[in-house]
A = this chain, B = another copy of it.
């Protein structure tokens, strides 16, 4: 978060979470990294929700400073930067999956594939470990 007021909100776990990733754009960036395989600046831009370039830049800096994502120079194209989730960021997956489970119930227009939600509800841990593979390379 950019909000100076809440930067040091530790103590309460919910408040701490909010101070670390508690705004809609941060959640969407985490989603992109965690489930959509997006890793580059322009990929976040093209995600569809229409984030502004300056806001994206700020969120990426914040999330990196909070240790949730990391920025590295791309191994192939050395001029590009690759973003990825840190261990700390990856560990947000259970929370994200719980949110998706909830949203599937209450959003009549949900895009969550039925196969995904079935796997999530049958064996969330197996799904989590499976998704994890794509994040660690």
The SS class assigned to the A binding surface is: helix
- Of A11-19, A37-45, A76-84, the stretch lying at the interface with chain B is A11-19
Give the interface residue-count category, chain A.
Answer: 35 or more
Contact pattern, A 60-73, Cβ under 8 Å of B = 1, otherwise 0? 00000001000000
Q: Is A55 an interface residue (CB 8 A)?
A: no
Complex Cα gap A15–B67 (Å)? 23
Task: Name the contact of A111 in the complex, choosing from B11, B27, B109 (C-beta under 8 A).
Answer: B11
Complex Cα gap A128–B95 (Å)? 15
Complex Cα gap A18–B100 (Å)? 11
Residues of B within 8 A of A133 (CB): none
